[in-house]
Amino acid sequence: MPGLILGIDLCDDYCQISCFDPQVLDAEQVSFARDDENCLIPTVLCKRKKLDQWHIGEEAYSHALCGQGTVVDKLVRLVGKNGKATIEGVTYSAAQLLQQYIRKLLDIPMKKYGTNEIERIVFTLQDENIEVMDALIQIGDSLGLPRERIHVATHSESYLYYVISQQKEIWANQTSLFNLTENGLHYYELRTVRGRTPNVVEVSHEMLEEGFSLDILDTESGRKLADRILRSCAERLLGRKIVTTVFLTGRGFEDTGWATESLQYICNRRRVFAGQGLFSKGAAFLAYDYGLEKSAYPYIGICDGRLRSTISMNVLHGGRLRQLIIAAAGSNWYGAKANVELIPDRADSLELMVIGLNGERRMISIPLHELPARPNKMTRLEVVVSFSQSNLMTVRVFDRGFGDFYPATDKMIRKEIML
């Protein structure tokens, strides 16, 4: 078969893998063992004592319980804090431990589908965390995967791509998602902003203050309390909206038996789907779309992890004034990097246009007076644009001189811009 197209939902407690099949244009979850229906793989790593052997998931727990190894968990959080762990006197960085986990994790789909070739991966995370994102790209490098084959998305992005890959009647109006995990109750809402071309699909996300620990589901009184909390949240969030479909996911919804009152309310005149793998499947859909020459989705997606503005500048090219798009609204901010070479023509500043989704325009002027003064059209500039957050852009302008006439200098102008 061709290379694997994978979506990997990487959380602190559990990980899930989905593989996209281009033949049927759908994604399926991958379990740890062939005869295992449980696709939740604990995000834990175990090193065997006195051996260079590593295990993950339930195998890691098993070896640790037998006294055969040392377990490290909360790997995502550890990487986010640039943490370390010492095992048998050896100190490992969090990124090194996550690399071992990812390496063993990728063995699962490779063995199932009988190939070591990976065409593309999208890792999806609960939130934007630059340390974890950078670590995942570096892990890909260490595994010999080209950077253009590895992408990182948020749960909001994965939810968006999962939903818009379904039949249109499922998301004709608004859709909602409750994700109940070890770290609380998260709510997502997807709506289509009509009247724009192309259409805008927007996802909002919030962690609900009323959330509760999964431990309370261990007792009857706790389950009743959780049911009342969830129903109260559902009434507040869904009450006055036209919500077509509600999705329930996360470990807390593996068994929905505790949520009788909540489901009675949520299911009233709405489609309701409960199950696991939504984020990993959405990431797999996104991974497939990244590999296409032109996106299969005629929408601008706006959510956590995506730019809400288009950045452009007016340039003269081929004798005509053109608008050069530096970064487009709806692009993943982490991958939205641009590198442009320009020759100023009677310009003492660099002018960038920020265009919001509502059409509002704002000019950003970056003075160039710190660069060497030269005759007109005798300076070549390199403009590098990158993002450290979805709403924080960094612009760097380098002096590249002008051939043998004016050598390049080390001068650089740097400006951070809130969008």
C-alpha to C-alpha distance for 408 and 400, rounded to whole angstroms: 4
Paired tokens of 65: 């319980």
Give me the residues of the chain with pLDDT under 70, please. 1, 33-37
Instruction: Report, at the CATH architecture level, how domain 158-279 is classified.
Output: 2-Layer Sandwich (3.30)
Residue with tokens 């590198």: 339
* pLDDT of the residue at 35: 57
CATH topology of domain 4-153: Nucleotidyltransferase; domain 5 (3.30.420)
pLDDT of res. 213: 87
- Reference 337, options 147, 99, 79; nearest CA is 147
309-418: CATH topology: Substrate Binding Domain Of DNAk; Chain A, domain 1 (2.60.34)
> How far apart are the C-alpha atoms of 47 and 66, rounded to whole Å?
13
Give me the pLDDT at residue 169, please: 87
Specify the pLDDT at position 385.
Answer: 96
Q: What is the pLDDT of residues 334-378, one digit of tens each?
A: 988 999 999 999 999 999 999 998 889 999 999 999 999 999 999
Rounded CA separation 53/172 (Å): 50
pLDDT for residue 31: 87
- The predicted-structure confidence for 118-155, as pLDDT tens digits, reads as follows 999 999 999 888 999 999 999 999 989 999 999 999 99
Predicted model pTM: 0.91
Asked whether this chain's domains 4-153 and 158-279 adopt the same fold, the reply is yes
| Domain chopping of the chain, boundaries | 4-153, 158-279, 309-418
Q: Specify the pLDDT at position 196.
A: 76
- Structural tokens at position 267: 């299911």
Q: What is the pLDDT of residue 110?
A: 95
pLDDT at 1: 58
